[in-house]
Amino acid sequence: MLRDVAEQIWLEQESSSANLKLAQLATTDGLTRLANRRSLDAFLRERTPSSGFSVLLIDIDHFKGFNDALSHQAGDSCLKQIAEVIGSATKDTGGLSARYGGEEFAVVLPGVNEARAVRVADA
């Protein structure tokens, strides 16, 4: 009986761990490891206009040409590096950095005024 209980506990822990990984996969962009569009939409739904927030939209100009000329692997590597910079610049802001689309990123900064948002964007 002790073995059955220990096995049941182990199975519950494995199930919980698998559910946590699945939730993370469902909310994270597989390439950049930033939040995905689904996470961004959920994050925005939780915000109220009265609480105030700033949004940075970042679009990588001429990315298609870069991707076509240098290969999709080079493009993926570029996107990963850009995501790392965006994540680093926004990690202490309490905001959310997300991959919005192919070469588009969004950063939501709750409670951050325009002047501070500009500093984050410059970083």
Catalytic residue numbers, as ranges: 103
As a whole number of angstroms, the distance between CA 43 and CA 37 comes to: 10
**What H or E segment, with its residue span, contains residue 80?**
helix 72-90
Q: What is the DSSP letter of 47?
A: -
Q: How far is CA 6 from CA 15, 16, 17, 20, in A?
A: 14, 15, 17, 21
As a whole number of angstroms, the distance between CA 54 and CA 49 comes to: 10
Report residue 51 CA to chain centroid gap. 22
